[in-house]
Amino acid sequence: MTRPFSRGNGGRSALLALFIALAAVLFGSAPVPAAATGGAWWEPASRPAPDSQINVTGEPFKGTDAQGKVRGFVDAHNHLMSNEGFGGRMICGATFSQAGVADALKDCPEHYPDGSGALFEHLTGGDNGKHDPVGWPTFKDWPAPDSMSHQQNYYAWVERAWRGGQRVLVNDLVTNGLICSLLPRDRGCDEMDALRLEARKSYELQDYIDQMYGGPGKGWFRIVTDSAQARSVIQQGKLAVVLGVETSEPFGCKQILDIAQCSQADIDKGLDELYALGVRSMFLCHKFDNALCGVRFDSGTTGVAVNIGQFLSTGTFWATEKCAGPQHDNPIGLAAAPPAMAEKLPAGVSVPSYDSDAKCNTRGLTRLGEYALKGMIQRGMMLELDHMSVKAAGRALDILEAEEYPGVISSHSWMDMDWTDRVYRLGGFVAQYMGSAQGFVGEAGQKAELRKKYGVGLGYGTDMNGVGAHPGPVGADAPNAVKYPFRSFDGGSVLDRQVTGERTWDLNTDGAAHNGLVPDWVEQIRLSPGGQSVVDDLSRGAESYLTTWKKTEDHEPGVNLAAGHPVSASTTEWWNPFVDFSPGLTVDGNTGTRWASEWSDDQWLKVDLGSVRRVGRVTLDWERAYARAYKIELSEDGTTWRDVWSTDAGDGGIDTAEFDSQSARYVRVHGVKRATDWGYSLYEVAVNRS
């Protein structure tokens, strides 16, 4: 094999070209010679030939604006390396190959000769039972907006997205062990093994691009591990790439018949390993309920298929209940089960039916999930809220608010939009799924006033290679049809139709088939009614994302003034000499221990801070026996009490009572009315200055 990159010149270049031509004739192979280009900093010193074109001219913007802020778009949810997950044969084709574009952009073996063996493509509706498997150079049937099993992130297409104005890309390492076990595969199905491989391939892609630009650190694709690195990369006009994780059973934390298959030690080990790999954001659950949290359901036929997958993986189907608040999970799919999935169920087992008024997953954030979230906080990692059930997301937000922790992200429209204010109030970041241009504008408009209130930008989540459909063609005559060539949002670059091999892509007639058409889609947003203001918000996305990340890194845990101090209570439940429910367990830092009162309404728990301190916030972690009505009382002497906060609508979980900071030595939680037939029970009590 010849080297894919060479700087050769003069006679040596001609000799090399002759050698390559002879090799192709004699051996019938297609080596990948290098094509020298450019000279400008944004053009590689050499590029593989043949290869995809970029079809962008002009220098990418650098630096900051007049206020010292960076500019640029954020793709907050992409899967550059998902072809390496799921056993290696669910997403066909690769993001790059040292052997060149023809090797990278080829179909899976079982898709030949006519696509009839493409099980996953058929299951997800990307073809009608057959497709042309040939990729390079013809691309007759793929990539396409509705094709779920073909590569959409070839490196040159990612390059075009960068040249078109994108400055942050979150590369979510992704896999699913159950799906892997059902498909043809080249490797094992351990999810952590897949994440390790995808991380390694991401760094190899960085090296591959650096090779074109003359050596380490010189390429436009830069994997970053802190916000300062990211800001520096963007100021240089390059693409800051953040590693994230989106997998169904991280750290082996699946649950089988409601029994967790992982421990706190597994979580600590897993978080440490992911952090060392460079991962800075992650989902705690995805698609299947696991030992950490319940998921937000999928709908329609996909929902039925995922629910069957959940049963095969965990032994349980989704379970629903009436929602406690206005937020709700996605409607569960009630369509007929896809035959390819239904036949996997044991004899006599079928997908259950669900009450139409029970729209929420019964599963929330488990105690192990809380431990994992607190572990992420300790490591300065950002939580991806999407895919969590409403019950889990609400609990996670309670914990984040109690910690005043800003590291929370919704990256592709998979949380209930009613959570948006809470996310922004914490300092988090929100991105919308890459839907149709006009639909994206409409969704953005619903939260425009909130973005203005909090002074934040907006992101998009393309979910490329993530088994999600993308915007289809609107037609050449549509009111918001893109007129080629067009200029990037900053006016500094000109983009024409993108060409790969023999195929010329036009967003109007081809839809958003691959990542290289993201700039065209942004232009279509701009041309849609109300779209210019949305593009303006998108251009502020990079600064907002970095602001969230920096605040996350700068977070300092509040000092719990109650930790280790004396605690007393009106009563303590006693029914077994081997079970301890004493009040001091609420300040021991262990969420597995708790205080429990006797079974009557008027009960209290008192903390002695040891001396008079300033107090402005009390956080309570309730067990299932919680207070419907209670109040927070303060005292300097333990005798004279004053009310500083109260509620008659307690809902359990984590409550944070905030009030004007004032002096006190004693803090009392006074239960007025129980929410259950049991007494009052608290895992932990935290007292903070503010």
Domains observed in the chain: 73-294+363-554 (3.20.20.140), 567-688 (2.60.120.260)
Which pLDDT belongs to residue 167? Answer: 98
Q: Read off the pLDDT of residues 23-57 as tens digits, 9 standing for 90 and up.
A: 333 223 333 445 555 579 999 999 999 999 999 99
pLDDT more than 90, % of the chain: 86
Which pLDDT belongs to residue 305? Answer: 87
Which pLDDT belongs to residue 475? Answer: 97
**Residue 576: burial class (beta carbons within 10 Å; 0-12, 13-18, 19+):** exposed
Q: Where are the alpha helices (DSSP H) in 236-331?
A: 264-277, 300-314
d(CA 191, CA 175): 6
Query: In which band, very low, low, confident or very high, does the pLDDT at 82 lie, cut at 50, 70 and 90?
Result: very high
Which pLDDT belongs to residue 302? Answer: 84
Residue 502 makes CB contacts below 8 A (sequence gap 6+) with: 137, 138, 139
**Residue 12 pLDDT exceeds 80:** no
d(CA 196, CA 150): 22
In 3D, which of 519, 539, 334 has the Cα closest to residue 451? 539
Residue 656 makes CB contacts below 8 A (sequence gap 6+) with: 398, 401, 402, 617, 618, 619, 620
Query: In which band, very low, low, confident or very high, does the pLDDT at 356 lie, cut at 50, 70 and 90?
Result: confident
Q: What value does the mean pLDDT of the chain take? A: 92
What global pTM score does this model have?
0.90
Which pLDDT belongs to residue 35? Answer: 56
Which pLDDT belongs to residue 24? Answer: 33
Stated length of the chain: 690
SS3 call for 611: strand
**Residue 522 pLDDT exceeds 90:** yes
Q: Read off the pLDDT of residues 53-79 as tens digits, 9 standing for 90 and up.
A: 999 999 999 999 999 999 999 999 999
Q: Mean pLDDT across the stretch 457-473?
A: 95
3-state secondary structure 471-534: CCCCCCCCCCCCCCCEECCCCCCEECCEEECCEEECHHHHCCCCHHHHHHHHHHHHHCCCHHHH
The residue written with tokens 């999935």 in the block is 341
The angle at the Cα of 62, spanning 58 to 67, to the nearest 5 degrees, equals 135
* Spatial contact of 154 and 52, defined as CB atoms under 8 Å apart: yes
Helix (H), strand (E) at residue 557: none
- B/e letters for 374-389, b = 16+ CB within 10 Å, e = fewer, are bbbbeebbbbbbbbbb
Query: In which band, very low, low, confident or very high, does the pLDDT at 597 lie, cut at 50, 70 and 90?
Result: very high
- Here the tokens at position 253 are 């934390």
